[in-house]
Amino acid sequence: MAQVCKGFCEDYQAEKTMLRLKYAEGQKRCTLCALFIKYDGDRCPCCRSKLRTKPRNSSKPKKVVYQ
């Protein structure tokens, strides 16, 4: 069965903040619904897809190791 956004995830939609602080404040992103939500569970209450709790890319520079 395909996952579909049912639309009631907007009840959990988080307030807008600076991009880097969203995950630090406990907001989670549902990639299917394309929303940041404030929710305690690890799955979206609307479509049951897994919520992303960390940003996809890090702002920290990567260390280069020379051998």
What is the radius of gyration, based on Cα positions, of the chain?
15
Structure tokens at 21: 């602080």
Give residue 2's pLDDT.
65
Give residue 43's pLDDT.
92
Give residue 58's pLDDT.
67
Q: Do the Cβ atoms of 42 and 51 come closer than 8 Å?
A: yes
Give residue 62's pLDDT.
65
Q: Is the pLDDT score of 59 beyond 80? A: no
Mean pLDDT across 11-39? 85
Give residue 66's pLDDT.
74
pTM to 2 decimal places? 0.72
Mean pLDDT across 5-30? 83
